[in-house]
């Protein structure tokens, strides 16, 4: 298992981003968790703190198996490092699968009364200014 980056540079962070992105897109939670230390904490907005590599693996398994997510792209924007701390800023773009379109049924009944008027069943309003006195499909 891999953990951390030996050298925290723009190039190494870019390489890490590609490896992590590929693992996510292959739904490989074991590989994703392998980048974390055994005692890592995963902290994010609107979620409980996840502790330990096993918890991190479970998180990424769940996240990567979300069928709505088609793929994930990571972009590194800024990398800074001191002897004690590395900082990387980037963006994550999720490509979402679109739901299949379902055709909407509309049944239109036409009725002729004098000059002709049209009605519809429930989904469309009366097209006529005057509501016909009869119902059905009289022609």
- Taking the CB of residue 49, how many other CB atoms lie within 10 A of it? 9
Q: What is the pTM of this model?
A: 0.63
* CATH fold label, 10-96: Nuclear Transport Factor 2; Chain: A, (3.10.450)
CA distance 53 to 37: 7
Instruction: Read off the pLDDT of residues 69-94 as tens digits, 9 standing for 90 and up.
Output: 888 899 999 999 888 888 889 998 88
In terms of DSSP bridges, do strands 117-120 and 108-111 run parallel, antiparallel, or are they unpaired? antiparallel
Q: Where in the sequence of the chain do the CATH 3.10.450.50 domains occur?
A: 10-96
CA distance 15 to 9: 10
Instruction: Read off the pLDDT of residues 2-46 as tens digits, 9 standing for 90 and up.
Output: 556 778 889 999 999 999 999 999 999 999 999 888 999 998 888
């Amino acid at each position: 298992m891999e953990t951390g980056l030996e050298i925290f540079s723009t190039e190494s962070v870019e390489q890490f981003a590609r490896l992590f992105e590929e693992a996510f897109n292959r739904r490989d939670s074991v590989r994703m968790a392998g980048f974390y230390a055994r005692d890592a904490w995963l902290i994010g907005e609107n979620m409980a703190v996840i502790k330990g590599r096993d918890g991190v693996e479970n998180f990424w398994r769940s996240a990567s198996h979300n069928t709505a997510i088609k793929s994930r792209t990571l972009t590194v924007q800024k990398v800074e490092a001191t002897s004690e701390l590395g900082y990387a800023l980037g963006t994550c773009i999720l490509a979402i699968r679109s739901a299949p379109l379902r055709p909407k049924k509309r049944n239109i009944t036409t009725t002729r009364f004098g000059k002709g008027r049209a009605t519809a069943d429930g989904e469309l309003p009366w097209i006529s200014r005057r509501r016909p006195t009869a119902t059905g499909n009289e022609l």
